[in-house]
Structure 1
Amino acid sequence: MTVDNILLFSLFIAVFALMIWGRFRYDLVAFAALIVAAVLGLVPTGEVFSGFGHPATVIVAIVLVISRGLVNSGAVNWISRVFVDSGRSLSRHIAFMAAIGAGLSAFMNNVAALALLMPVEISASAKAGRSPALSLMPLAFATILGGMVTLIGTPPNIIIAAYRGEALGEPFGMFSFAPVGLVCAIVGVAYVALIGWRLIPVGNSEKAPTANLRDIHGYVAELAIPAKSPIVGRLVGDLDDEAAEAGVVVLGLIRKGRRLPGGARREKILEDDILVVDGPVEAIDALVGSLKLEFPRRDSIKESGSSDLALLEVVVPRDSRLDGRSAGTVGLNRHTGVALLGVSRQGRRFRERVRQLQVRAGDVLLLIGPPDRLGEAANWLRALPLADRGLGVTQHGRAALAVSLFAAAVALASFGILYLPVALAAVVGLYVIFDIVPLRQVYDEVEWPVVILLGSMIPLGIALEQSGGTEVIAGGIVNLASGLPAWVILTVLMVVVMTLSDVLNNTATAVIGAPIAVDIAGRLGANPDPFLMAVAVASSCAFLTPIGHKNNTLILGPGGYAFGDYWRMGLPLELIIVAVGVPAILVFWPL
């Protein structure tokens, strides 16, 4: 290996380790690695920022905006209303929802598809009186599977297609992934609907009850104590009976911005103190009424002049504006006029002030503010409401227009009349002109952390390839399966990439895997397309952990899942994908 190889491998190992650790955001890790590579001369100066203009990066940014347009127009909500019936048996319900999720994911980003259907699923679970834990994981996995069917369904497909264009002169088309993707999706959806949901730990039914939507977990919340409250002058410890009757637990007292030591059990309550409690939102609301307490109202809420306050629950996805930060740090109240009332973290309690707590992906937040501001606040945070409402106002009557514009762009790109990024960009422009997506939402819907990740990782991947690093990895895989048939090496590649995708971002895995696939094919004198297709499938199939795919992270809090719950249903699914994916690739993309 050359010095450049050693430096690049060391840099990639450091990037992988930091991403797995999760202490720092993956986009910052990738960008820092790009800068380090540029300083060391591993990436030529003129190519350092070339990844930000790469077709894969552009398409990923545009697809989420188009997804927002389909949601705003009411097209997807109409599909959900028509097909979702909470009266079906659980197995049939999961089959229907999984099929809808997979179908939507084929034509819109799979993260956006889950973001749309998750509130619908939670509501359906509540009406049926069952835990959302039994159905959210199958839905998330189905949206991941459906994304593999088309070019725009998932970022790895976009990356693989663009790389094929650079390496072989012609990219994969819109439906090049469909034959293999459909086989994997159909078999995978059948598995999650018939068998997979039965492997989810039964305990989750108790961890995430849904008799009421707002009873997912107890919230740690703060309640203001005005002068009129009857508890002024009483000891904190004396509130146990009233709290128990309401269904909450008193955790402590905050005075002059400071949490008093312990539980402040023997502390006398004063006017303007803040009571810290833990319980379901309805129980907290009942306590506010019985003890004449108040929800804290920040300055922006007071200035709004509205006495009408509402509550909204949202789940924090990875790369939300709040992920890894506190409400006070991001200026939630200052920017949106909405305040953070409580945080639910899988039943855990904490001593930090609610506004000062570092929020994590998977947390469920309870927001309070004027009803007309809550949706905008969720949109600004890039968080997902856990109620049957969208982040924007549905524009009834625009569904046909939105779908027609999108379908026309897909058709023009499929027949080679228009370059796909140009066709999709034109759709975004028309959505803005027809006010299907307001201009302010265009920038909000672009997933900037993924853009930074791709823009940073693509030049690093190119540098690894040009330095001969991918030849080293490809040689290792070929040597590992030395003397065995090419299809065995294809299987080994698929397993290696799939394992990486379980612990890394799937876009990063695709960026690294694509050149390795072409190099292996060159060593074997085989067609590179089946190896590229294997990387595309494997990069998308991250079912073992909540960090392998953003859809897995989104359901962590609402489903009440633990880190180790995913592999029970996910490991058989990954084995099934390998078992059906390899033969499908060999049939449709012969070696």
Structure 2
Amino acid sequence: MTTDQMMLFALLGVIVGLMLWGRWRYDLVAFAGLMAAVLLGLVPSAEAFSGFGNPTTLIVALVLIATAGLTRSGAVARLARLMSGRDRGTTGHILLFGGVGALLSGFMNNIAALAMLMPVDLQTGRKLGRAAGLTLMPLAFATILGGMLTLIGTPPNLIVSGFRADVLGEPYRMFDFLPVGGAVALAGLAFIALIGWRLIPRPDESEAGTDADSRQRRYVASLVLTEASLTASRTIREARAEAAGAGVRITGLIRHGQEVAGPLDDQALADGDILILRSTPGSLDEFRSTSNLAFPDGRQEPRARKDAEGQQLIECLVSVAAEIAGRSAQSFGLANRHDSVLIGLRRDGVALRRGLARQELRAGDMLLVLVPESRMADMLAATGLLRLDGGSLPVQRERHMRAAVGLFALAVLAATFELTTMPIALGCVIVAYVLFGVLSVNELYDHVDWPVIVLLGSMIPLGLALDQTGGSALIAGGLAQLTQGYPAWVALVLLMGGTMFLSDVLNNNATTIIAAPVSIRLAEQLQVQPDAFLMGVAVAASCAFLTPIGHQNNTLILGPGNYRFGDYWRMGLPLEIIVMVVAVPLLLIVWPL
């Protein structure tokens, strides 16, 4: 072992150890490790930042932005609402939600797919009195499995494709992952839905309702009916049924400036009617989007607000020194001067209902304000309102739904038929999203998960250094010697097992960057084709089911599902065994050695 190899192994050991310790963020640890490698002469200074220009890093960033366009257009929310129908039983529910989640994850960021389906899953569970912990872990695991379907489904697929391009001169195509990944996903989903969820420890019902949704503040707000809302004869009773599906309660109806008295259920809805609702901000926008309703325009006699540009619902606090304190939204000119609308108002923990625009605002009031993205900073500066951390929600732009879905589908087809490369196809989609108004220029970079980008940009040069110094060949030689005299598939099993274990305790992207060059060198030493080994690393790195830290989706459900650290392995361990049993034979068939 050379001096460079020893220093690099020691450095990678420190990086892995610090990531497992969790005291510092993984992106900071990776970047610090890269700087150390440059100072030690393990990575040439000219190549220190080559990982940030790597196509893999760019594709991950572009996929995140394209996913945001699909989400912002309301396409994913519309699909989620279609799924939240009648009770199908726990197995049927997991099959439906897990299947759709897996399919979505094949074409969009799997964290975003889980984030869109999780509120619907929680809401369905609350309606049926079913603990969230019984279905959230199956949903999270299904979205992880779905990422293995396509090239863009999960970063490990992109990383191994980049390594293949460096070694064989050609990356993997869009659906090269489908034969093995699809079979693994189907087998995994069947296990999760039929058996797996029964292995999850029964959650403590006394802690029910501690999920994020239950902690959101509710406001009394209003939405305006338009001609688009009245595609069929509708009554308040029908509207209430739709609203309940989104977690919204209709409490009143205003017509021609007067609140309608008496029983409302049989009242026929008309263009220009205003529904009074009690809801969280997220549920309010979901109901508005799926039912083709409109926000009010903030005038004295409200009408439907026109969606001319991207808007956000923001929660604000009226401070003592706020310019708007002691004045009403109407007298301050919130609508006229800043094109912003006061949607909801909470005072002393109570949601106020009547005459919000004319209410004199006091210090300590909490406001829900609809504001154009381009005017948000000016509005906050002029009013002196304090925006609450995390209290910002981009408003869905459902009129762009067809354009968003169509453009994304065209990009996938163009990359599939090799009309252009995936980075170029996704880049064109994002430019088109801005031109068509699906996303605004101001919000493009908000949707990039920068810690992941820094992690990839920092770890890729370290992974290449491991290969160039002969470190990956050294590891591969050890595996080859360990399995000497056995068939090559034994080495494949050991490689996948080690990758799975590392992925369960380390970020799956970092795991792939370390394991991919080892897989190539192992194939060289065994004198076989490298594709089965590369694909094996992609599958194994994606299958982190034993801990809540192995994958961000596992971490995302930890609190809402009321899970403990030791709950994951109960369903995760047999699932990882099933993945190995299904994947290894298929890898040898689809990618012969």
Normalised TM-score (structure 2): 0.72
Greater Rg by CA: 2
From 527, 543, 546, the equivalent of 1:544 is 546
Structure 1 residue 80 and structure 2 residue 77: aligned? no
Secondary structure in structure 2 of the residue aligned to 1:548: coil
Q: Which amino acid aligns with 1:490?
A: L
State the Cα distance separating 1:203 from its structure 2 match. 3.2
How far is 1:114 from its partner?
0.7
Q: Paired residue for 2:508?
A: 506
Task: Give the residue type in structure 1 aligned to 2:319.
Answer: D
* Between 576-585 and 432-441, the greater mean CA deviation after superposition: 432-441
- Give the conservation status (yes or no) of the 8 Å contact 2:80–2:116: no
Structure 2: stretches of 5+ with no match in the other structure: 217-279, 281-314, 330-344, 350-363, 377-386
1:453 and 2:485 aligned: no
1:163 lines up with 2:163 in the alignment: yes
Of 513-522 and 479-488, deviating more is 479-488
SS of 1:107's equivalent in the other structure is coil
Could you tell me which residue of structure 2 aligns to residue 96 of structure 1? 96
Kept in 2: contact 1:431–1:437 (CA 8 A): yes
Deviations 1:314-345 (A, max 9, x none): xxxxxxxxxxxxxxxxxxxxxxxx99x99xxx
| Structure-2 separation of matches of 1:14 and 1:297 | 44
CA distance in 2, matches of 1:24, 1:454: 17
Q: Distance in 2 between matches of 1:26 and 1:510?
A: 15
Cα separation, 2, equivalents of 1:173 and 1:307: 60
The answer to whether the 8 A contact 1:108-1:152 is kept is: yes
Asked if 2 retains the 8 angstrom alpha-carbon contact of 1:506 and 1:548, the reply is: yes
Name 2:333's counterpart in structure 1. none
Query: 2: distance between equivalents of 1:447 and 1:560?
Result: 25
Question: What are the Cα deviations for residues 248-303 of structure 1, in whole angstroms up to 9, with x where unaligned?
Answer: xxxxxxxxxxxxxxxxxxxxxxxxxxxxxxxxx9xxxxxxxxxxxxx995639955
Structure 1 position 370 matched with structure 2 position 375: no
The match for 1:299 is 319
TM-score by length of 1: 0.72
Q: What are the superposed Cα offsets for residues 435-482 of structure 1, whole Å, 9 maximum, x if unpaired?
A: 101222211101100000000000000011000000111112122222
Contact 1:160–1:536 (8 Å) recurs in 2: yes
Task: Give me the whole-angstrom Cα distance separating, in 2, the residues matched to 1:306 and 1:509.
Answer: 56
Q: Is the 8 A contact 2:157 2:538 kept in 1?
A: yes
- Secondary structure at 1:398's aligned position in 2? helix
CA drift of 1:374 comes to 11
Q: 1:239: which partner in 2?
A: none
Write the distance in 2 (CA, Å) between the matches of 1:212 and 1:49: 38
CA distance in 2, matches of 1:433, 1:142: 34
Look up the match of 1:176: 176
Question: Which of 485, 492, 500 is equivalent to 1:483?
Answer: 485
Q: Note if contact 2:211-2:561 (Cα within 8 Å) is conserved in structure 1.
A: no
Alpha-carbon distance between aligned partners in 2 of 1:517 and 1:112, rounded to the nearest angstrom:
30
Superposed, 1:417-566 pairs within 5 Å as 417-566=419-568
1:431 partner amino acid? Y
The amino acid of 1:29's aligned partner reads: V
Secondary structure of 2:419's aligned partner: coil
Using the alignment, how far apart are the partners of 2:81 and 2:167 within structure 1? 44
Are positions 1:113 and 2:113 aligned together?
A: yes
Residues in 1 aligned to 2:15 and 2:574: alpha-carbon distance in whole angstroms: 29
State the alpha-carbon separation in 2 of the partners of residues 419 and 77 from structure 1. 29
Aligned to 1:28: 28
Q: SS where residue 394 of structure 2 aligns?
A: coil
Would the alpha carbon gap of residues 39 and 211 (structure 1) be closer, same or farther in structure 2, given more than 3 Å must change?
closer
The 8 Å contact of residues 211 and 559 in structure 2, kept in 1 or not, is answered as no
Residue 582 of structure 1 is matched in structure 2 by 584
Distance in 2, matches of 1:519 and 1:382, equals 48
Question: Aligned letter for 1:299?
Answer: S
Query: Contact 1:375/1:391 (CA < 8 Å) preserved in 2?
Result: no
Query: Given residue 196 of structure 1, which amino acid in structure 2 is its aligned partner?
Result: G
Over the matched positions of the two proteins, sequence identity in percent amounts to 52
Residue type matched to 1:156 in 2?
P
User: Which range moved further: 418-427 or 391-400?
Assistant: 391-400
**Structure 1, unpaired ranges of 5+:** 217-280, 282-294, 310-337, 343-366
d(CA) in 2 for partners of 1:158 and 1:212?
A: 32
What letter is aligned with 2:443? Q
4+ long deviations beyond 6 Å: 306-309, 373-377, 380-383
Alignment of 1:79-478 (within 5 A): 79-209=79-209, 214=214, 299=319, 302=322, 305=325, 369-372=366-369, 391-478=393-480
CA deviation after TM superposition for structure 1 residue 403, in Å: 1.1
CA-based RMSD of the aligned residues comes to: 3.0
**Contact 1:130–1:205 (8 Å) recurs in 2:** no
SS at match of 2:150: coil
Residues 1:308 and 1:406: Cα distance change in structure 2 (over 3 Å): farther
| Cα pair 2:133 2:563 within 8 Å, conserved | yes
Structure 2 CA distance, aligned partners of 1:482 and 1:196?
A: 36
C-alpha distance in 2, partners of 1:297/1:404?
40
Q: How many pairs does the alignment contain? A: 454
How far does residue 176 in structure 1 lie from its aligned partner after superposition?
A: 0.6
Task: Write the distance in 2 (CA, Å) between the matches of 1:565 and 1:301.
Answer: 48
Whichever residue aligns with residue 405 of structure 2, its letter is V
CA distance in 2, matches of 1:137, 1:375: 37
